[in-house]
Amino acid sequence: MTETGAHLSVPVSERDHAQGPADAPLTLVEYGDFECSYCGAAYPIIKETQRRLGDRLRFVFRNFPISTSHPRAQAAAEAAEAAGAQGKYWEMHDILYERQDTLEDADLLGFAEELGLDSERFDREMRERRYEDRVREDFLSGVRSGVNGTPTFYIDGARYDGAWDGDHLLRALEHAAGATG
């Protein structure tokens, strides 16, 4: 299920975007790309897994835009970070996956407006590439952790290489909870 040699090189910290209690018995980290169709397919599975595990799960998302295959992934990741600077990271995260086929600059600005963000600030920060370094830090931590595609998941710091469709990911998390609890 997990690959013993592949672990997170950068532990989860306050710097990360996380949902769920910091002291949850399980932590699931996803390295994802907002333009990746596989990540888009994983998105509702993650949502359902979060719903089913509730407070037993902390979910962390880290940016891993594969710009060579997905030309809008970098801008989408920066848009999520720009929204996060205004307290709406997860709302933007969700919109980006729910409307994955519309990630042009005008779409990103429209999402910011829809979320009630300060659109002038958002637009300025996007033009300045204010969050480029933040996205790069996530990407490089993924490379150091053995990420070579998206989505890549880590359960309690160990890379999960099993299937993530259906109930496979949920079963792996429950197995990890049984092993630690």
pTM: 0.94
How far apart CA 15 and CA 5 sit, in angstroms, is: 25
Range of the domain at 128: 2-180
Number of domains in the chain: 1
Per-residue tens of pLDDT for the chain, all 181 residues: 444 468 999 999 999 999 999 999 999 999 999 999 999 999 999 999 999 999 999 999 999 999 999 999 999 999 999 999 999 999 999 999 999 999 999 999 999 999 999 999 999 999 999 999 999 999 999 999 999 999 999 999 999 999 998 789 999 999 998 865 5
Tell me if 6 sits within 8 A of 152, measured CB to CB.
no
Query: Can you say whether the dihedral through the CA atoms of 38, 44, 47, 48 is positive or negative?
Result: negative
Here the CATH number for the domain that contains residue 171 is 3.40.30.10
How far apart CA 57 and CA 126 sit, in angstroms, is: 32
